[in-house]
Chain A
Amino acid sequence: MSAIVDGDLLDEELAPTLQNIIDQKSLRWIFVGGKGGVGKTTTSCSLAVQMAKVRERVLLISTDPAHNLSDAFGQQFSKDAEKVENVDNLWAMEINPTDTFQEMIEQSSSDSPSGMPNGMPNVIQELAASLPGIDEAMSFAEVLKQVKSMRFEVIIFDTAPTGHTLRFLSFPTILEKTLAKVSEVSGRFGPLLNGLLGQQGSGPDNNFLSKLESMRQTVTEINKQFKDANLTTFIAVCIPEFLSVYETERMVQELTGSHMDIHCIVVNQMLFPAKDSNCPQCNARYKMQQKYAEQIDELYEDFHIVKMPLLTEEVRGAEKIKNFSKMLLEPYAAPV
Chain B
Amino acid sequence: MISVLWTVIYVVAFNAIVAAIGSDNIGELAWVVWCKFTPTKAAANFKELQKVRNEAIALNMEITGVSAQDEFAKWARLNRKLDKLKDQKEKLDATHNSQRTFFKVVVRRSIWVLTSGLKFGVRIKYRKTPVFWLPKGAFPGFIEWILSLTSAPKGSVSVAAWFMIVDYAIKGAVVSLLTESANLLISIRNSQSARAPMKTTPSKVADSTAKLNAEKEPVNLTEKKQK
Contacts and interface: CB of A to CB of B under 8 A. Distances in A.
Main secondary structure of the interface of B (DSSP, over half): helix
Interface string A266-306: 00000000000000000000000001100110110000000
Nearest to A294: B73
Contact of B70 (A253, A291, A296, A298): A291
Nearest to A291: B70
Interface in A228-278: 242, 245-246, 249, 253
Nearest to A300: B73
Main secondary structure of the interface of A (DSSP, over half): helix
A273 B180 CA distance: 86
A245 B83 CA distance: 18
Contact of A253 (B71, B72, B73, B83): B83
Size category of the B interface is 10 to 19
B83 A299 contact: no
Contacts of B189: none
Contact of A242 (B69, B73, B79, B83): B69
Size category of the A interface is 10 to 19
Contacts of B91: none
B68 interface: yes
B178 interface: no
Given A242-B68, A246-B68, A295 B73 contact: yes
Contacts of A242: 68-69, 72
A245 B71 CA distance: 12
B77 A295 contact: no
Contacts of A245: 72
Contacts of B68: 242, 246
B37 to A, nearest CB: 38
14 contacts: A242-B68, A242-B72, A246-B68, A246-B72, A249-B72, A249-B76, A253-B80, A291-B70, A292-B72, A295-B71, A295-B72, A296-B73, A299-B72, A299-B77
Given A242-B68, A245-B72, A299-B77, 10 more contacts: A242-B69, A249-B72, A249-B76, A291-B70, A295-B71, A295-B72, A296-B72, A298-B73, A299-B72, A299-B73
